[in-house]
Structure 1
Amino acid sequence: MDNKPAPFVPPAPQPRTSPPSTLEMIRIVYRNPLELWGEPSYNEPWISVTGIGGPLVIANDPGLIRHVLVDNAKNYKMATVRQLILRPILRDGLLTAEGDVWKRSRKAMAPVFTPRNIFGFAQPMLKRSIAFAQKYEGEPGVVDIAHDMTMLTYDILAETLFSGEIAGEPGSFAREIDHLFETMGRVDPLDLLRAPEWLPRVTRIRGRKTMAYFRKIVSDTMNLRVERLKRDPAGAPEDFLTLLLRAEGPDGLTRAEIEDNIITFIGAGHETTARALAWALFCLAEAPWEREPIEAEIDAVLAREPDPTKWLDAMPLTRAAFEEALRLYPPAPSINREPIEPEKYKDLYIPPKAAVLVMPWTVHRHRKLWDRPDAFIPARFHPENRDKIDRFQYLPFGAGPRVCIGAAFAMQEAIIALAVLMSHYRFDTVAETKPWPVQKLTTQPQGGIPMRVTPRA
């Protein structure tokens, strides 16, 4: 008889059984879009309806997703609603740029994220993770692990991509990033209605001070590095920041585009990994039968393998748990596109100006694609099971030409961070641990994730 406990089912909104009214829809989308989706979104290959902002297509079928994101990607641009939300924050950063601007940015950044460079980041990632873990030595107890993972990934980002030279104070950074996503990261009702950009959004107005804070950090950081490059061109670190600044020129990036891409990586690049790490620690705490073999795996690997570049491949159980957390709580829960020309996919007509939503949130929980989709089952991603997962049913980093450029960076970072943290400490939930997933650009835990941190025996 199998005495293994039933899989842990982490918190998530229940699919709606009836469509909301227009006013209710606007309220839900502003408060938490994850609560909007009904049973068809988790059961049908696609849905085509007319919403308050015009035609809407929800794509869940892996073949349709591949068609939109890869096979016919040239016919799809970034969706109008998505751009109305993100462009005020990121402007011409890699996530929001299109056309030649996007091509220039992608080309300028590609050398940073080659396998060789990513392996080179492993030791700095390890260094910052060890330093961060030491904070729990003097103050074991209950901490907000969501906040802490934001601080850890900020430290890693600063050390790897900026060689530790980011202007500003890390503590205020964590507070401000939360406020930024709370304000400017929300969908404004005027966005849903596709109102002109010149109409003021209340959400944007509330976030202007925070946005100015981030712009100042980036401006000061760039100025510090420019001065260093002038003083000692050969002595400046050859990191992400230097590479971008050297890409400035008539055939490269403008100074504004460089600033926008730094904002993108500071604001969004570290945030996604932070959220996934926090959700992973939460899920493992609620499923100790999954956590115990992972702790054993981490202990064994760390005892025999000092090279952190080898850990990702050497820790399949740890990696599987993190990937399962990414499935249940995809950091980017929605990928939005809009057709340039109308077209057909099988018997689906995709009209002009339709909002085409590829939502990892629903695709990752789809009843026809996953067994027990709402449960935390890391075994789905064990090496012997990975081939059963279609490339286009699992999209934590997107797909196609605009796939996340930092995916390999994030995976290496996550495994190193989990290995360091879980080798020294155990993270357990407490009575106050009641996280609720809320979409504010990323999938965030409303109220944080309070957890008790204790040294492992």
Structure 2
Amino acid sequence: MSDMTMGGVCAKADRSADPFIPPAPTPREKPVGRLELIRIIYRNPLELWGKPSYNEPWVEVDWMGMHTIIANDPGLIRHVLVDNAKNYRMAAVRQRILRPILRDGLLTAEGEVWRRSRKAMAPVFTPRHIHGFAEAMLERSVAFAERYQTPGLITDVARDMTLLTYDILAATLFSGEIAGEPGQFAHEIDNLFETMGRVDPLDLLGAPVWLPRFTQIRGRRSLAFFRKIVADTVAMRKTRMAKGDDVPNDFLTLLLKTEGPDGLSRAEIEDNIITFIGAGHETTARALGWTLYLLAEAVQEREIVEAEIDGFFGKGGRDLPPHQWLDNLPFTRAAFEEAMRLYPPAPSINREAVEDDQYRDLKIAKGSTVLAMPWTIHRHRLYWQNPEAFIPARFHPENRDKIDRFQYLPFGAGPRVCIGASFALQEAVIALAVLISRYRFDTVGETKPWPVQKLTTQPQGGLPMKVAPRVQNKT
């Protein structure tokens, strides 16, 4: 992207003299020692990155015996994720974290297993199917909003959004037929990401794979909980199908119909179900929570979004099919997208070079790890003006097309781009429109979030916020 283009985006976007700058780790001035590096990566990898990672197109480092390239340049990212994607596989450390949880689910499968899974799920995420989910998304959002009726309510919005997105996921992809209780689900997923969703120090020290990881041992109970949910959910649907019941043609049914020698194995089906139950809703939940927090702190931006939603509904927007809300609420969408820029749900994309490669004057040796990290790319000084600030106008219609495709990666890119990206955007705008039209979310003294990487970018300590009915002007 040229300097002229970037200047155009920023000149229009930075209309506020004093935009809100949310909490984030300060770039480090100097490298850390080996033991401190292990401690930081285990506690919160977002605190590791130094100034070069936010200022240089790429950075080469050698740590723990591994050559690592931190890729920030959009052209380099395109080269690795798209143009020469066949030369890059999932990084070993990433797989050691995720495969015990997701096994051969879509996020962790490789080669032929990944291709079969992607092909099996593609029909569910066509625009026609996604638009068909919109009514259920609206219904579940409206029903969820009722819980905020209590006067003076202070609630953990981060946890609430996990419950809401779980509810939407259950109603859309599984037609309301997921076994288990949502409250327990939210608790267990927090525990799973707190334990198995973190880098284990033994992985950083290069310990043998067979040596037990303490973090994974602590998370086995939560993993067993999710595996049981999947087994019970599959058993319920299979029983109905065997009886000849008129079952919904949803994600679950379509997956079960692929079982067989030319499709997916039962284990692969269960792995993909747990991927979508355990991780498919979590990213959207985190982004929704961060959006409500950022709007609460940036009152000017909140007023823009509230005015847009009020105007939309006041002019008959409620009568439009909800799948059309996404295109009719551009400022609401922009706030959500800016929240994903500042707090990307998936803060790192890890690849490993299969063979030697080269991009411009950068030599990428076989076995090198390439980190394309939305966390640093989205806050990079070369590609964003005032990158630490919350400025939704970056994504307003007149600006969004000027942002390079590979400098904004909330859903990844290339063949492994998130299959549910359109689903998530539609879900988020519908949920935000319902919640913000009815309530105002304000921070309280206890609202002091700190971003922590545990698979997703989570607010440490949650997002306690006051939720109160809005007083709107009737026109």
Fold shared by both chains (TM-score > 0.5) = yes
2:444 to 426, 430, 437: 430
Identity over the aligned pairs, expressed in percent?
72
In the TM superposition, residue 451 of structure 1 has moved relative to its aligned partner by 0.4
Matches within 5 A, 1:139-158: 140-158=152-170
Q: Pairwise CA RMSD of aligned residues?
A: 1.1
Aligned equivalent of 1:273: 284
Classify the secondary structure of the residue corresponding to 1:349: strand
Classify the secondary structure of the residue corresponding to 1:384: helix
Distance in 1, Cα, partners of 2:401 & 2:140? 34
Aligned equivalent of 1:254: 265
Distance in 1, Cα, partners of 2:430 & 2:76? 35
In the TM superposition, residue 196 of structure 1 has moved relative to its aligned partner by 2.7
Matches within 5 A, 1:79-118: 79-118=91-130
Distance in 2, Cα, partners of 1:223 & 1:239? 16
In the TM superposition, residue 293 of structure 1 has moved relative to its aligned partner by 1.6
Aligned equivalent of 1:123: 135
Pair 1:333 & 2:344 matched: no
Distance in 2, Cα, partners of 1:401 & 1:392? 14
In the TM superposition, residue 5 of structure 1 has moved relative to its aligned partner by 5.1
Distance in 2, Cα, partners of 1:53 & 1:185? 23
Aligned equivalent of 1:308: 322
Aligned equivalent of 1:175: 187
The answer to whether the Cα contact below 8 Å between 1:10 and 1:283 also exists between their aligned partners in 2 is yes
In the TM superposition, residue 302 of structure 1 has moved relative to its aligned partner by 2.1
The answer to whether the Cα contact below 8 Å between 2:125 and 2:420 also exists between their aligned partners in 1 is yes
The answer to whether the Cα contact below 8 Å between 1:48 and 1:57 also exists between their aligned partners in 2 is yes
Distance in 1, Cα, partners of 2:375 & 2:437? 31
In the TM superposition, residue 386 of structure 1 has moved relative to its aligned partner by 1.1
Structure 2 length-normalised TM: 0.95
1:187 to 199, 220, 231: 199
Aligned equivalent of 1:228: 240
The farther-off stretch of 439-448 and 140-149 is 140-149
Matches within 5 A, 1:13-52: 13-52=25-64
Distance in 1, Cα, partners of 2:224 & 2:80? 35
The farther-off stretch of 119-128 and 51-60 is 51-60
Classify the secondary structure of the residue corresponding to 2:155: strand
Matches within 5 A, 1:231-246: 231-233=243-245, 235-246=246-257
2:381 to 353, 367, 378: 367
Q: 5+ residue gaps in structure 2?
A: 1-13
1:70 to 82, 86, 97: 82
Per-residue CA deviation, residues 3-43 of structure 1 (Å, 9 max, x unaligned), is: 95500000000000010000000000000000000000000
Aligned equivalent of 2:145: 133
Pair 1:413 & 2:427 matched: yes
Distance in 1, Cα, partners of 2:153 & 2:22? 23
Distance in 1, Cα, partners of 2:101 & 2:65? 22
Query: Aligned residue pairs: how many?
Result: 455
In the alignment, residue 285 of structure 2 is paired with which amino acid?
Answer: A
Structure 1 outlier segments of 4+, above 4 Å = 2-5
In the alignment, residue 421 of structure 1 is paired with which amino acid?
Answer: L
Compared with structure 1, are the counterparts of its residues 269 and 53 closer, same or farther at alpha carbon in structure 2 (3 Å cutoff)? farther
The answer to whether the Cα contact below 8 Å between 2:151 and 2:468 also exists between their aligned partners in 1 is no
Pair 1:263 & 2:274 matched: yes
Classify the secondary structure of the residue corresponding to 1:57: strand
The answer to whether the Cα contact below 8 Å between 2:21 and 2:389 also exists between their aligned partners in 1 is yes
Aligned equivalent of 2:297: 286
Matches within 5 A, 1:346-365: 346-365=360-379
In the alignment, residue 291 of structure 2 is paired with which amino acid?
Answer: A
The answer to whether the Cα contact below 8 Å between 1:149 and 1:278 also exists between their aligned partners in 2 is yes
Distance in 1, Cα, partners of 2:36 & 2:295? 35
In the TM superposition, residue 387 of structure 1 has moved relative to its aligned partner by 2.2
2:214 to 160, 181, 202: 202
Distance in 2, Cα, partners of 1:131 & 1:292? 25
Distance in 2, Cα, partners of 1:122 & 1:219? 27
In the TM superposition, residue 448 of structure 1 has moved relative to its aligned partner by 0.1
In the TM superposition, residue 301 of structure 1 has moved relative to its aligned partner by 1.5
